[in-house]
Chain A
Amino acid sequence: MEDLKSKGEAMSLKQMMIRFKRYGGLLVFILIASFLIGLYPLTRQINSYYSKSYMRLLKSFLDEVTRDAVESGQPSFGMVVRRLSEGLVDLATGVDLSGLLSYEKLPSIVPEPRGLFVNGNSTKILIDGGSHILLIEIPVSLLDRMLSAEMAYVFLMASDGTIVACNDLNFQGMRISTRKGFVRMNGTTGFVESEPLEHLSGFVASFIPLRTYFTILLPYLLVAIAALCGDAVWLSLAYSFENRLVVGVNMVLDNINQSLTKLDKTDEVFYVPLETRIAELSQLQAGIQKLIEAQKASWHELHAMMQSLQDTVNELEETQRTLQERNTQIIATLAEAIEIKDANTLGHSDRVVTLALELAKEIGLKDPADLEAIKFGALLHDIGKIGIPEYILNKPGRLTKQEYEVMKLHPIYGEKIIRKISGWDLVADIVRHHHENFDGTGYPDGLKGSQISLRTQIVSIVDVFCALIEERPYRPAMSLEEALKLMQTEMVSTKFDPELFEAFKRVLEKFPRICIAGS
């Protein structure tokens, strides 16, 4: 990955293939261009070699033959030399040859390939012999023997383009243009090039057949074709590879994506590898298959662990419920124990609980911690009475000052008991301060106003109300109206918050039955 990042962004397969093919096409272009560039000088070299060498050879041959004929007058190599008159009459036989021979100026090549005094074809040259004209007749077979015709042909042409001598008899007598270029002669296509003779009215020309070019250029052509074939194979492989790879990769990716999508929903996934002709893709699929199987195994393990955890949670919840029930039972038992000890307050705590919770709802308390604190605070607000002697608790008449001072200790005792229960701080607060007054005249800490928690004020107002409507040894139970009137006139703003009292009255209107003592 580090390497890839350092070299730039990774390429897609398609981009790689486009680049691959682009390089292949460029290589084809370069090969063809190189081939053509190389072909040109080679072809020129072939032309130059055969044209110049063959034509030079023919010219020197002609020069030598005519010089020998003029100087020695002795024919050789089957040549015939005749002396003619100005009127082209053969001096030896007297035969008039003017019908067969003609010239414009001497020396001249006669544009007639058929032999006169030579059997077969001949080249006839008329030259000035002083008092007569010399007719030199050279058998064409002589030229054929002198110059090989394996790779190229050399022509001796009269001024009208008639071939009068050639190293291949098949071209004898034909007429060609003296311009250079490709021509087709006698079933053979080739390149012809000619040049005029210096001392004779006529031309020498060379004709290089295409097969000569092929023969000489064959190694070059083979190498070029091999290179082109190689490049064609490269491109072909690229196209084939592209098809196989892109199609194969797409199919495999689709297959993997489908399997992974299913794996998100269910563990019932089986990855079936696709058959490809690319070994790496098969290996990749095998790896993916192993990963999916491993994923499935992990999924199963996790599922089992979660199930086990859920079971544990359920057990814990069950245990917690049981413990809560026991706590509640214990607390209820404690409250009941207080009520049993203080015979005057039987049923008091339950009543306080009910009304306190209703009042809390009325003023909008919804926090479960507050409600729980109110519930247990209301239930156990007098738990400290356990530490108060029974004679004080159950004294039929008014308590003495000392007795009252002892009695005022019960919120402190209760707070001490409750504080030991972990997480019951709010309950302890209610228990300690449920006898505090709004104007700060309460006990044990003389808190006032907002120093007293709303939870405590709720329990406090309900506790007072319930105490008023309950019978006491030292007085009879008041009616609801009497209790409210008393509270309104003597306790609102001093003992209770007026707003809270108004809310309490609304609660009592809604639930009048709760107000019946002992119900």
Chain B
Amino acid sequence: MRLAAFLFVAALVLIVLLVQVELGRFRVLVLDDGRTNFLQGVESYLKDHNLRYDVVTVRTDVDQAELESILRKYQNSYAVGPRLSSEAQRLIPLLEKFKIFAIAPLVTSYRVVGKSSYLMTLSPTDEEQGRQIAERLKVEGCRKVLLVADKLNPVHSETIEESLKRHLSVEQFESRQIETIDELLGEDFNRYDGLVLALDGRKAGIVVQLARKKGFSGTIVGSDYALTDDLTTAGGPAVEGMIVCCLFDFETMLRSRMPDMQIAGAYDAAMIIADLKHNRVSQQDAASYLRGRTFEGVTGRFSVTFDLSASRNLTFVRVKDGRFEIER
């Protein structure tokens, strides 16, 4: 009887393990909001290095309770993402709760960077980006500047705005935070000679089209947020000559044939996760392991700072013939 009971329990345990553990493969989460190419970057890295990790996409654009229930299943994991600083701010408590170490390649806001030992970025902070954009506008001779930012990414929008305000010395500086393009239908773009877009590439392309249609002929500068292929796809000829801030070493990205910042950022994030796994660094110890280390990836050479951001040089690229070229 004891043997029968033992066999029965063993079979049940086996079934539960098979269902829950799914053979115990190493798992990498991709924290996606439906607008990233992170999965592509992670899969590229795994394919290039012949690694057989289980890549699981977790949508972050769901309500907090659902997100918590999903992340609970993936405790003690490594993750790539999220895309936005606002999403990162919402995720940090869950990352810490479930001990998930996330590498968000493009998160830049100082409101989230350095706030948790479970979140790191591969980018410099918005403070530096704002300063660089301000200098670029000054070089371009812009005196009246309009900032159009994403209302759905308030953290990035607000920090960029704060940084610009701090570093810009212009006659006029105004900002608009929008959800849809229709909110700019009444905007008079001709009043400005400088347009800064803290929007994703698709929205930025459409806004540039709209602005050009309304006769805007000034300098257009996009934050790193806009540096995706969607910018040229959505903007078409209208975005020709537009300057975009690149948080990574764009020259290295082009050499690596990865001009998309999300793909390149996810590729290097996967590289760091593979290094952590190789050295058997737990999620709890990842932050202390990474601080001060230097990596050489498809996004260029960078060092991890004390606040888990990347110390590297910013570059600007310009749209030329539908492609991004390094702005010398």
| Residue with the greatest number of chain B CB neighbours at <10 A, chosen from A95, A117, A210, A221 | A95
Q: Which residues of B contact A236 (CB under 8 A)?
A: 3
Q: Which residues of B contact A232 (CB under 8 A)?
A: 4, 7
A229 within 8 A of B: yes
Q: Interface code A431-449, partner B: CB below 8 Å = 1, 0 otherwise?
A: 0000000000000000000
Q: Which residues of B contact A172 (CB under 8 A)?
A: 34, 59
Is there an interface contact between A114 and B202, defined as CB atoms closer than 8 Å? Answer: yes
Q: Interface code B174-185, partner A: CB below 8 Å = 1, 0 otherwise?
A: 000001111001
By secondary structure, the A interface counts as mixed
Is there an interface contact between B15 and A100, defined as CB atoms closer than 8 Å? Answer: no
Binding site for A on B (CB under 8 A): 1, 3-4, 7-8, 11-12, 15, 19, 22, 27, 32-35, 39, 54-59, 61-62, 70, 152, 179-182, 185, 202, 205-206, 209-210, 213, 230, 232-236
Is there an interface contact between A95 and B209, defined as CB atoms closer than 8 Å? Answer: yes
User: What separation, in Å, do the CA atoms of A221 and B19 have in the docked complex?
Assistant: 14
Of A95, A140, A218, A233, which is within 8 A of B206 by CB? A95
User: What separation, in Å, do the CA atoms of A186 and B54 have in the docked complex?
Assistant: 8
A46 to chain B, nearest CB (A): 16
User: What separation, in Å, do the CA atoms of A186 and B70 have in the docked complex?
Assistant: 13
Is there an interface contact between B185 and A93, defined as CB atoms closer than 8 Å? Answer: yes
User: What separation, in Å, do the CA atoms of A172 and B58 have in the docked complex?
Assistant: 10
B24 to chain A, nearest CB (A): 12
B200 to chain A, nearest CB (A): 9
A94 within 8 A of B: yes
Binding site for B on A (CB under 8 A): 92-100, 113-114, 116-117, 119-121, 140, 144, 169-174, 186-187, 189, 210-211, 214, 218, 221-222, 225-226, 229-230, 232-233, 236
By secondary structure, the B interface counts as helix
Is there an interface contact between B34 and A229, defined as CB atoms closer than 8 Å? Answer: no
Q: Which residue of A lies closest to B54 (CB)?
A: A187
Q: Which residues of A contact B12 (CB under 8 A)?
A: 222, 225
Is there an interface contact between B181 and A93, defined as CB atoms closer than 8 Å? Answer: yes
Is there an interface contact between B3 and A233, defined as CB atoms closer than 8 Å? Answer: yes
Q: Which residues of B contact A221 (CB under 8 A)?
A: 15
Is there an interface contact between B202 and A116, defined as CB atoms closer than 8 Å? Answer: yes
User: What separation, in Å, do the CA atoms of A117 and B183 have in the docked complex?
Assistant: 11
Known pairs A171-B57, A229-B11; list 13 more (Cβ under 8 Å): A93-B181, A94-B209, A94-B213, A95-B210, A99-B205, A99-B235, A100-B202, A100-B230, A116-B206, A170-B57, A170-B58, A229-B8, A230-B4
Is there an interface contact between B233 and A100, defined as CB atoms closer than 8 Å? Answer: yes
Of B22, B34, B57, B206, which is within 8 A of A113 by CB? B34
User: What separation, in Å, do the CA atoms of A97 and B205 have in the docked complex?
Assistant: 10
Is there an interface contact between B7 and A99, defined as CB atoms closer than 8 Å? Answer: no
Q: Which residue of A lies closest to B59 (CB)?
A: A169
- Top-8 shortest CB links A-B: A187-B56, A169-B59, A121-B34, A229-B7, A99-B233, A233-B4, A225-B11, A95-B209
User: What separation, in Å, do the CA atoms of A397 and B11 have in the docked complex?
Assistant: 136
Is there an interface contact between B55 and A187, defined as CB atoms closer than 8 Å? Answer: yes
Q: Which residues of B contact A95 (CB under 8 A)?
A: 181, 206, 209-210, 213
Of A117, A174, A230, which is within 8 A of B180 by CB? A117
User: What separation, in Å, do the CA atoms of A174 and B56 have in the docked complex?
Assistant: 12
User: What separation, in Å, do the CA atoms of A252 and B61 have in the docked complex?
Assistant: 78
Q: Which residues of A contact B1 (CB under 8 A)?
A: 233
Is there an interface contact between B7 and A114, defined as CB atoms closer than 8 Å? Answer: no
Q: Which residue of A lies closest to B4 (CB)?
A: A233
8 pairs of residues in contact across A and B, judged by CB atoms under 8 Å: A93-B185, A94-B210, A114-B35, A170-B32, A174-B57, A210-B19, A218-B15, A229-B4
Q: Which residues of B contact A187 (CB under 8 A)?
A: 22, 27, 54-56
Q: Which residues of B contact A170 (CB under 8 A)?
A: 32, 56-59, 70
Q: Which residues of A contact B181 (CB under 8 A)?
A: 93, 95, 117
A410 to chain B, nearest CB (A): 107
